[in-house]
Structure 1
């Protein structure tokens, strides 16, 4: 029986409505019947009624769990930046160094030695192990421990750069707006700079706190996802993240809950894939050939939005299975391999690794 951990987004409600939240142990969770009681890092308590999600609260996991797949909230709709042109990415079929394909022997993480069996050219074989339906609703939410807040970050420092008018997308109004934003220069690794544009609804001090927090989290992403990342937008509100336009969109109330329940890093991985990989791979014939040969998508979200979400839903499971396999259970690894082997092979052949920016 497939168990899906439900992400916590719009159904969270504050306890003690109309009065200050009860004090609780920061970053803790517990079940009280089918109520999931969570506490963020500031000691503010929030309550999720698991039954409202068609789920039950499982004390051993301290999460709302449903027994069958259900449609997850959008991990972050891609903001249409217009039709992307091929920027000249290397042919995905070129034989490149193995990015970490597990060897046929013990399930260990390959240190990067090219495997004799990895073939990056030629036709993709029809997947004979494909399940009838996608195994997951959305891959940003399959395991909250796949990426962790304690993982290394390439974020180095943050400098306030003053105010400046920027065009920012705000999902609360579903529109682009001219904003006299608070600007911060975030440096990652030796030389990568990202401009963080923060809505002036925050004071400068609070804006800097948000900019530092999300810069650190983004710095935990692998270096290959920084390829097209130039800016970040930060707004208030419990609205969905997004990725495209050489940008990652963040709404801090949504981010607060994602961080509380362990999904923040996984959602940022999904969004950064939109930003840095979609335009080079999503519409490529070889990716489409791999998808056709697989016969099924990895998630309902990818199946229902194949021309928008297939790459961004597949890259997380590829990354988890190749570089975070020790954090996943064996059955999940098998499910991933059996569902999208050709897409995984396509990604293996790109030569990516899990290194953060140097």
Structure 2
């Protein structure tokens, strides 16, 4: 009799273990939602255009001096003597534009410095506030943000311009520079990520700490400040996918001049 009793107890133990708590072990794994977009800079070329107001005021040549710059063509830091320009903006911000000495002379470098100073001036103050330098190189390599800097390769810029997304790309990169450090790992942003059922793009999903802010902020600008330039279906998809991130950004009271 004791043998049968022991066998029965053993069977109950095995049954309990195999079922797990509330049957959770038998539940299929949760399948993450598929983001609606691959990358956000490609969605609309009219969020900022070359006819929009720029805060750029003036550019002055400051000679050449030793600077350390990142160059994607060698995927490394280089120390050179770039042409230097001080770029000023009407909201009190300023940027040192560093143009690789591979450009023919200071006049050729000034053309590039002036071009990008004007374009960067169309970005809101909130995105320029931590941009201290801009690196400009030849070559067709991806732009970059961070390091209190925006990295530009003019061959890649031509491709962006042909698609009408130069300004949109600079919004993305400047978001890295001026927003990531404060927001990308903040409790409020992480909570918003968790509350939303999805990411806005696969690029953000695959790089949730590094790219989610930059992928999101451009579309935040689009629905809050340029809704007349995007179609209703795009606006609806953004609000449907990341409502909590949008609310988080609303609460930050960013200085959006000259967009706002």
- TM-score norm. by structure 2 comes to 0.85
Aligned counterpart in structure 2 of residue 153 of structure 1, from 54, 78, 90:
54
1:296, 1:313 → 2: CA distance? 13
Aligned counterpart in structure 2 of residue 179 of structure 1, from 77, 80, 88:
80
1:294·1:339 contact (CA, 8 Å) conserved in 2?
Answer: yes
How many pairs were matched up? 228
Q: Deviations over 1:76-110 (max 9, x none)?
A: xxxxxxxxxxxxxxxxxxxxxxxxxxxxxxxxxxx
Cα offset, 1:206, TM superposition = 1.2
Partner of 1:296: 198
2:142, 2:107 → 1: CA distance? 24
1:140, 1:190 → 2: CA distance? 26
Is 1:199 the counterpart of 2:100 in the alignment?
yes
Partner of 1:98: none
Higher helix fraction: Structure 1 or Structure 2?
Answer: 2
What secondary structure does 2:115 align onto?
helix
What secondary structure does 1:307 align onto?
coil
Is 1:224 the counterpart of 2:224 in the alignment?
no
Cα offset, 1:227, TM superposition = 1.7
Higher Cα Rg, which structure: 2
5+ residue gaps, structure 1, are 1-130
Structure 1 residues 340 and 357: alpha-carbon distance in aligned structure 2, compared to 1, 3 A threshold: closer
Cα offset, 1:335, TM superposition = 0.1
- TM-score norm. by structure 1 comes to 0.62
Cα offset, 1:299, TM superposition = 0.3
What secondary structure does 1:308 align onto?
coil
Is 1:350 the counterpart of 2:252 in the alignment?
yes
Is 1:253 the counterpart of 2:155 in the alignment?
yes
Cα offset, 1:353, TM superposition = 4.8
1:138, 1:279 → 2: CA distance? 21
2:91, 2:128 → 1: CA distance? 13
1:211, 1:145 → 2: CA distance? 23
5+ residue gaps, structure 2, are 1-31
2:93·2:129 contact (CA, 8 Å) conserved in 1?
Answer: no
Is 1:340 the counterpart of 2:239 in the alignment?
no
Cα offset, 1:339, TM superposition = 0.2
2:257, 2:85 → 1: CA distance? 25
1:338, 1:349 → 2: CA distance? 18
Cα offset, 1:169, TM superposition = 0.1
What secondary structure does 1:169 align onto?
strand
Q: Deviations over 1:145-203 (max 9, x none)?
A: 12111110001110000001001000000000111110000011152210000000002
2:91, 2:227 → 1: CA distance? 29
2:91·2:125 contact (CA, 8 Å) conserved in 1?
Answer: no
Is 1:189 the counterpart of 2:90 in the alignment?
yes
Deviant stretches of 4+, over 6 Å: none
| Structural RMSD (CA) | 1.4
Cα offset, 1:357, TM superposition = 9.2
2:48, 2:113 → 1: CA distance? 20
